[in-house]
Structure 1
Amino acid sequence: MNTERSVVTWADVAREAGVSQAAVSRAFTPGASIAPDTRERIIAAASRLGYRPNPLARSLMRGRSNIVGVGVGDLANPFFVQTLQLLSDTLDGASLRLMLFPVEGDGGAEPSISEILHYRIDALVLLSVSPSSTLTEECRKARVPVILYNRTNQAHDASSVVGNNETGARAIAAHLLAGGHQRMAFLSGTPGSSTNAEREAGFIGYLAEQGSGAPLRDCGHYDFDAAMAATRRLLLRKDRPDAIFCANDTMAIAAINVARHELGLDVGREISIAGYDNVPMAAWPIFSLTSFSQPAEQMVAETLRLIHALRGDPEQHENVVTEGRLLIRTSTRPARFRQVNR
């Protein structure tokens, strides 16, 4: 016995209510002109049949899906979890829907091009993922705008929304110098990523301008376990650093765990550790992490603005830079002398 239930269509509702299919369409279109009693008859017929309008099909008939694809690879990073929540809420408020496309990681496999284009999304937002030239070219042909979030690229074939990474890194360098630190280290993120390159350049550049030596360096790949291993290598050196700037908060929290719980160091006195992003955990008393805050709400708002603008002309690329601020907490020493001008 076949127990499958057939899909109820507009035609079924029209026959049940004794009206045209056009009338059914108007009945389910907000603001459309239709007599109240006719609308009530159609809604009642739809209810009896169990009909539910298909918003995707209707939006495609208008030429847009109202779906924004979002590619993200690092859901272990609280900054991107926060961003996804903000994006979901912001898009919902604009009557847009978010469709998540998992990515293996920055530099790894990106979302399937055929899968992305199959859904006829209105835009593709990539969270800290650098797209291949093939992806951007196929999206260009399909007139699907690509927006890089927390990344830039050299090809200028996509729009981007980023924080002012170099300014933030310079502010952290100034703060650590003001705390009297002499031997600093930079714990880098993913090699080749634009955010990491800008933060490293800002940090090293400011130290050089102030006559400070080049910092020690190790790589944590924006990963908690890798950052713990890198911190151990740095802190077990004979010339171990007295301050570490980590390229994001996930790595900074890992560094605090190693310094405090494995090596017994007094974080904020014997060693200073600073991060970047100001994820919610940074403010927890157990970490009290000094961090440069990226304005996630503003970055998401700018992303929505770009989505609306690019749906009209997907090739009018724009690169948006947002400003953050340094939040000083107890994971770093307070200034011991007047901070020099930046």
Structure 2
Amino acid sequence: MARVAGVSRAAVSRAFTPDASVSPKTREKVYQAAKELGYRVNYLARSLTNKRSDLVGLVAAGFDNPFRTLQIEHLSRALLARNFRPILLPTSQEADTSTVIGQLLHYAVSGVIVTSDAPPTEICEQCAAEGVPIVLINKGNDIPLVDRIISDDHVAGHLAADHLIDSGARKPAVMAAPAKSYTARRRSEAFIARCKQVGVEAQLLQVRINDYRSGYDAATDLAASCIDGLFCANDYMACGVIDRIMQGRSRDEAPPLPIIGHDDIPQAAWTAYDLTTIRQPCDLQAEQTVELLISRMAEPELTARVEFTPVTLITRRTA
């Protein structure tokens, strides 16, 4: 290829190395020669030499929730913008963690990002032992040398409580599965604490999982609970609640009680829901995550860090 491009072999190598010093003219010559010869860089083969590939593992679960899809999309885009290649490893709370770990290490990944609802502890401990940088998103696990990005659930709980109380709620409730999710637990605790702080007693409506079906099923008993305002741990659950309580009603009507969700998934803005929610900005969160990962790659022995992603109240028809 060097002969076809009319450059040195070293120039060819630099042309295919991200951020390497090579002139645009030389890079273009090399790319044109590669196109004529049908050449493609074998990144996995390169990893055998470098001991690390350009792959970053994305470990995630809960893909039925639209927020997870949005989160993975933004993480993937942020990685690609920095010349990394995301490799997605779907998992679940019941998955064999050792299998996920094996897949990650076999690919000689440069780093790992673990989202909420995925089982991270064993993955993190073994990957850290192998010198693989890790960032957790919305996870409570405090592990040496493992960084975390956390949505500001404390502020989210306060925003939801204040908005419902300002709207006239005196018997508000939060719907969540605290035992299943770190974020659901933090949001519900912050909501209840804020209500108590201003002299209002809030209920916790526990569900099995923080998903659409749980919200739909739990909504059957809302009338008997006598609550007058509801904060759901995520939008996905809130959509289930709205679909159940709006059965037999016109979609032009507002729900019979104020409802607030969390995440601001695309469906929250649909006319069928028009859901007031707490926005968790996936784009900013992805940037924070990738920046932490890259800095951990450069300095593996840094003390574990925690950064918070700010949240915003988005007001729509439901509250």
- TM-score, normalising length: structure 2: 0.85
| Cα drift, residue 265 of structure 1 | 9.9
Deviation at 1:233, TM superposition (A): 2.7
Alignment of 1:195-214 (within 5 A): 195-214=183-202
Q: Deviations over 1:86-120 (max 9, x none)?
A: 1121111111110000112x465445211110111
Alpha-carbon displacement from aligned partner over 1:215-261 (angstroms, at most 9, x marks no partner): 141215121112211121333x2x43222110000001111111111
SS at 2:154 equivalent: helix
5 Å-filtered alignment, 1:1-342, equals 24=9, 26-30=11-15, 47=36, 50-104=38-92, 106=93, 108-110=95-97, 112-129=100-117, 131-155=119-143, 158-189=146-177, 191-235=179-223, 237=224, 239-261=225-247, 268=254, 270-316=256-302, 317-332=304-319
Residues 129, 156 of structure 1: CA spacing in aligned structure 2 closer, same or farther, 3 A cutoff? Answer: farther
Distance 1:215 1:294 in 2: 24
**CA-CA distance at 1:173 after TM superposition:** 0.4
Structure 2 Cα separation of the partners of residues 269 and 255 of structure 1:
10
SS at match of 2:246: helix
Structure 2 unaligned residues grouped into runs of 5+: none
Distance (whole Å) between structure 1 residues aligned to residue 129 and residue 301 of structure 2 = 10
**How much has 1:53 moved relative to structure 2?**
2.8
Kindly indicate whether the alpha-carbon contact (under 8 Å) linking 1:187 and 1:220 is maintained by their aligned counterparts in 2: no
How many residues align structurally? 310
Cα distance between partner residues in 2 of 1:253 and 1:45: 51
Contact residue 256 and residue 267 of structure 1 kept, 8 A: no
Aligned partners of 1:259, 1:98: CA distance in 2, in Å? Answer: 40
Distance 1:126 1:216, change over 3 A: closer
Once the 2 structures are TM-superposed, how far is the Cα of residue 78 of structure 1 from its aligned partner?
1.4
Q: Is the contact between residue 283 and residue 289 of structure 1 (CA under 8 Å) also seen in structure 2?
A: yes
What letter matches 1:27 in structure 2? V
The range that moved more, 51-60 or 206-215, is 51-60
TM-score, normalization by structure 1: 0.80
Identify the range of structure 1 (220-229 vs 125-134) with the bigger mean alpha-carbon deviation: 125-134
1:66–1:233 Cα change, 3 Å: same
Unaligned residue ranges in structure 1 (runs of 5+): 1-12, 333-342
Distance 1:254 1:274 in 2: 12
- Structure 1 residues 266, 218: closer, same or farther in 2, change over 3 A? farther
CA distance in 1, matches of 2:48, 2:81: 20
Q: Percent identity?
A: 27
Aligned to 2:165, what secondary structure does the other structure show? helix
Q: Which moved more, 1:130-139 or 1:39-48?
A: 39-48
Aligned-pair distance for 1:182?
A: 2.2
Further displaced range: 134-143 or 114-123: 134-143
Find the aligned partners of 1:43 and 1:89 in 2 and give their Cα distance: 26
Q: State the Cα distance separating 1:29 from its structure 2 match.
A: 3.3
Match of 1:339 in 2: none
Distance 1:43 1:283 in 2: 46
Q: For residues 35-74 of structure 1, what are the alpha-carbon distances to aligned partners after superposition, in whole Å with 9 as ceiling and x for unaligned?
A: x99x9799869955x5433133225423431111001111
1:99 is aligned with what amino acid?
I
CA RMSD of the aligned region, Å?
A: 3.2
How far has the Cα of 1:123 moved from its partner? Answer: 0.9
Tell which deviates more after alignment, 258-267 or 163-172.
258-267
CA distance in 2: counterparts of 1:112 and 1:45, whole angstroms: 35
Distance 2:166 2:159 in 1: 11
Note closer, same or farther for the CA distance 1:33–1:186 as it changes in structure 2 (3 Å cut).
closer
C-alpha distance in 1 between matches for 2:186 and 2:258: 21
Q: 2:175 touches 2:231 (CA, 8 Å); kept in 1?
A: yes
1:188-225 deviations in Å (ceiling 9; x for gaps): 03524221111011100011111112314121512111
- Aligned residues of 2:188 and 2:204 also touching (Cα < 8 A): no
